[in-house]
Structure 1
Amino acid sequence: MPREFLRFQRVSRQLQRELAEIIQRDLRDPDVGFVTVSDVEVTKDLAVAKVFVSVLTTQEAEDKQSSVAALNRASNYIHGIVSKRMRMRMVPELRFFLDESIEQGIKMDALLKATNPDNEK
């Protein structure tokens, strides 16, 4: 019977859940701001995890980049908490990146509405 999901995919999903909870509850850095974990990509050898985060702010892009930089500074602390929660021999190295797909989607939606204002549905 074949497995439905590969191991690195299961680790990716579980890591996303754990990181979202850790950032929300355990991380006390005011530089981070309001961050949501949108996706986690784990390499097949489980060595590195690319964590894509969305930063919800009304400020400029510098604030978003500073939030991502604060997360990268705290990655060792976050890695320690994750390693205690997940039962793995080796937890992947965490690297945080800004995910701008939500903003891009909003811009695309606005452009589509501007080109066809009659079709509001």
Structure 2
Amino acid sequence: MLSHRINRINEEMKKALSTLIKNQIKDPRISELLSITQVDVTNDLRYAKVFISVYDDKEKQKDTLKGLESAAGLLRREVGKKIRLRYTPELLFEIDHSIEYGMHIESILKNINESED
């Protein structure tokens, strides 16, 4: 029962954060090429790790992370209003490198296939 509730909260927070970042946050440090890949809320609902993917260079990724961290209080308050939790988790942002890793593996496989031909 608890894991179903946590999964539902994860998805609701992911949707709410995506909408809020695109529509309300006007920080120039935050990249337009931002995607929230996953939200992991702890079982006690105190913290939420928000994994983001930025399709840009490393410097822009760092700037986007700083911009999101400075907007975390506003985002937390607005998410709390949207999903109506008794306690809104503290937002912790992290860069998700899984997409970059997948693209790297894909290029390796492509090179292997080309060398076999």
Fold conserved between structures, TM > 0.5: yes
1:37-52 pair list within 5 angstroms: 37-52=36-51
Separation in 2, partners of 1:117, 1:76: 50
Once superposed, what is the RMSD of the aligned Cα atoms? Answer: 1.8
2:107 pairs, out of 73, 85, 110, with 110
Instruction: Name the SS for the 2:48 alignment partner.
Output: strand
Matches within 5 A, 1:1-121: 3=1, 6-34=4-32, 35-57=34-56, 60-117=57-114
Contact 2:77–2:88 (Cα < 8 Å) also in 1: no
Which has a greater percent of helix?
A: 2
Unaligned runs of 5+ in 2: none
TM-score, normalization: structure 1?
0.88
Show CA shifts across 1:13-70 (max 9, x none): 110010011011111111011211110011011110000001122xx31210111111
> Which consecutive unaligned segments of at least 5 residues does structure 1 have?
none
Q: Which amino acid aligns with 1:22?
A: L
The alignment-based identity, stated in percent, is 31
Query: What number of residue pairs does the alignment pair up?
Result: 116
